[in-house]
Copies of this chain bind each other. A is one copy, B any other.
Amino acid sequence: MAHRILTLTTDFGWSDPYAGAMKGVILSLAPEVTLVDLSHGVAAHDLLDAAYTLAQAYRYFPTDTIHLVVVDPGVGTTRRPILVRAGTQLLIAPDNGVLSLVYDQEPEAVVRHITSTHYFRTNPSQTFHGRDVFAPVAGWLAKGIEPEKFGDPITDFVRFAVPKPKAVAGEVRGVVLKVDRFGNLITNLTPTDLPTLAPESTSLPAFSPTVGKGNVTAVRRAYAEAAPNEVFAIWGSAGYLELCANRASASRLCGAERGAEVVVILTS
């Protein structure tokens, strides 16, 4: 237990005292834990953004890392707090679908409804379960309480479907899942959806993805291969096709944001 790691993913931003209060509650219970800010910059109330952010980072952590996720528009209602064992990782979150991408990656995940309220702070507020419910549960878990002590497994947990690409009549239609800080448009298109464009292909077919007003030219292997203001496609580090520009924002160049449709026309 000496080097238990605990990450935080919230939509609290980096200015307000909310994340700090949670850290205090956790450290009061488990002063030896190593806290890691995964992100506090999730878009406010945005469960898909939170799910994506978490899914791109959680699996790189050591065995038995605890991931605390507090993006919680239903705080104060009857939505349940849950504790999940997913492969080598542990996750604590509201049961609002925010772990949907984790469930996709870990079909054997065990989801427990946290019902042992004696691990909560006394008189929890109705608006800040991050501090009063989730942080103390995380602290007790880091301290060594076994997951099964917090509540029984459930199977009716909330899970939303991430949009899947559709193939019709020579074209494949996907969407932009995420726009990152650089303006890269991360789509939901995987090599399985576009086998003739997959990273291992040696010769690429003619193709023309369109998004917004973007004129996508090619699939490239590195950002620096592209001309200035050229929008190109690349197989990104998240496993998805990304539309990018070299030292510029594809989002701005294409006028496309999250949710924009991406149409790939494949001509053989």
Please report A residues at the B interface, Cβ cutoff 8 Å: 3, 5, 7, 9, 11-21, 23-25, 27-28, 31-32, 34-45, 52-62, 65, 73-77, 125-128, 131-132, 180-182, 221-225, 234-237, 242, 246-247
Among candidates B27, B41, B44, B57, residue contacting A13 with C-beta atoms closer than 8 Å: B41
Among candidates B38, B41, B54, B62, residue contacting A28 with C-beta atoms closer than 8 Å: B62
A247–B45 CB distance below 8 A = yes
Q: This chain: how many copies in the complex?
A: 3
A222–B126 CB distance below 8 A = yes
Which chain B residue shows the least CB distance to A22? B60
B125–A222 CB distance below 8 A = no
B27–A39 CB distance below 8 A = no
- A16–B62 Cα distance when bound, in Å, is 20
A37–B37 CB distance below 8 A = yes
Contacts of A14 in B (CB 8 A): 14, 39-41
B44–A182 CB distance below 8 A = yes
- A37–B234 Cα distance when bound, in Å, is 29
A132–B181 CB distance below 8 A = no
A20–B41 CB distance below 8 A = no
- A20–B16 Cα distance when bound, in Å, is 20
A221–B76 CB distance below 8 A = yes
Which chain B residue shows the least CB distance to A7? B20
Pull 16 A–B residue pairs with CB atoms less than 8 Å apart, ordered by A.
Answer: A3-B31, A14-B41, A15-B181, A16-B39, A17-B52, A17-B57, A20-B39, A23-B38, A23-B60, A27-B61, A44-B182, A75-B222, A76-B222, A125-B237, A127-B222, A128-B236
B181–A44 CB distance below 8 A = yes
Known: A15-B53, A18-B56; 14 extra A-B contacts, CB below 8 A, are: A5-B31, A9-B20, A13-B181, A16-B39, A16-B180, A17-B54, A17-B57, A21-B60, A27-B62, A31-B34, A44-B247, A76-B223, A125-B235, A131-B237
